[in-house]
Structure 1
Amino acid sequence: MHRLRLPVTALRVFLVFLFGFALLMQIMSLPGQFAHDAGQTPKLAQLSWTLLVVTELAMLGLQIVIVCTWKLLTMVQKDRIFSESSLSWVNGIVWTFSVGWVLLVGVSTYISAFLFFTPSLRDPGLPILLFGFTLVATVVVLLIVILRALLRQATVLRADMDVVI
């Protein structure tokens, strides 16, 4: 595992910065920005507050994924990544991405309906962009599910090899 020492350390440094950035956004930036937007356009205040809640939940999901990734990196360093205990951390990532996907679909539907029923805001650009984000998120969630299945298979093979050897 000596070859992975530098990439794991670099990834951990960036995970710390990303976690701190998400926390800073969650506490200081997002509430102020959405409050300002709601004050500037009172007709869209309901949309701003809904987006604030969803964005805060997305930041929380990002933080959960960072913690799970950190734990998996620890297992990689200890050469224990192919164990049953690693699957619980991968499940945490899978469930977090799945909940995020559900939130994205819900927000996309809500915003698209809001824009459709508000004649002065009818612009197809945002719903199309949200549809594209939903497609990308669907591919990412399915990819993570497949990678989890591959980890499970590798874990079983590793356990079988340990019994044989």
Structure 2
Amino acid sequence: MSRTSRLVVPLRVLLAAVFLTLVGAQVAVLPAVFRRMAEQSPDLEPLRWPLLALAVVVLACVEVVLVCAWKLLAMVRDDQIFSARSFVWVNTILAAVAVAWVIVLVACVLVAAAEGLSGIAALLLVVLLVGAAVGLLMVVLRALLVQATALRTDLDAVI
């Protein structure tokens, strides 16, 4: 068993723990956070439900990324990562990151319009920057996967 294959199980355990934590946050934590936000900042009270919905959808996008990572780990374990099937999962990750980024942008605009440049708006701006970096990193990693898959195909043809 290679070192990479031995890492699949611990990574899957970690992915499952993160997934369950995100589901718990969607169900229990986020509603309480946005209720408290509405109580502490009455000017944001009209945004309570739209922001809650946006936050739940963003976390759902993260959950999609986790599921795709789970599937990619299975492909790594089975030594099938350098195949056309992996592009489906990588493209799904890119789409989920893009959707989440647009949703955070909308939330940032809503908060900035309601409250001006506040701490919440600044936090959302930081999340936008991190999301852009993650998206660009995924584009680079996808390009590397394309090159590695082409090389693997050529190598398999030679052998």
TM-score (norm 1): 0.86
Paired residues for 1:15-164 under 5 Å: 15-38=15-38, 41-116=41-116, 124-164=118-158
Gaps of 5+ in 2: none
The farther-off stretch of 126-135 and 51-60 is 126-135
Larger of the two Rg values belongs to structure: 1
In 2, the alpha carbon distance for the partners of 1:98 and 1:40 equals 31
8 Å CA contact retained: 1:38, 1:49 = no
Preserved contact between residue 19 and residue 63 of structure 1 (Cα < 8 Å): yes
Q: C-alpha displacement at 1:139, in angstroms?
A: 1.5
In the TM superposition, structure 1's runs of 4+ consecutive aligned residues that sit over 2 Å from their partners are: 31-44, 123-133
* Residues 83-134 of structure 1, C-alpha deviations (whole Å, 9 max, x = no match): 0001100111010001111111111122112113xxxxxx554434433332
Q: Which SS does the other structure have where 2:80 is aligned?
A: coil
Deviation string for 1:120-152 (max 9, x for gaps)?
xxx554434433332222121111011111101
| Uncovered stretches (5+) of structure 1, i.e. residues with no partner | 117-122
1:160 and 1:130 mapped to 2: Cα distance?
45
Whole-Å separation in 2 of the counterparts to 1:130 and 1:67? 25
Task: Give the superposition deviation at 1:48.
Answer: 1.7
In angstroms, what is the RMSD of aligned CA positions?
1.9
Aligned 8 A contact 1:26 1:59 in 2: yes
Contact 2:38–2:44 (CA under 8 A) maintained in structure 1? yes
Alignment identity in percent? 41
Query: How many residues are aligned here?
Result: 159
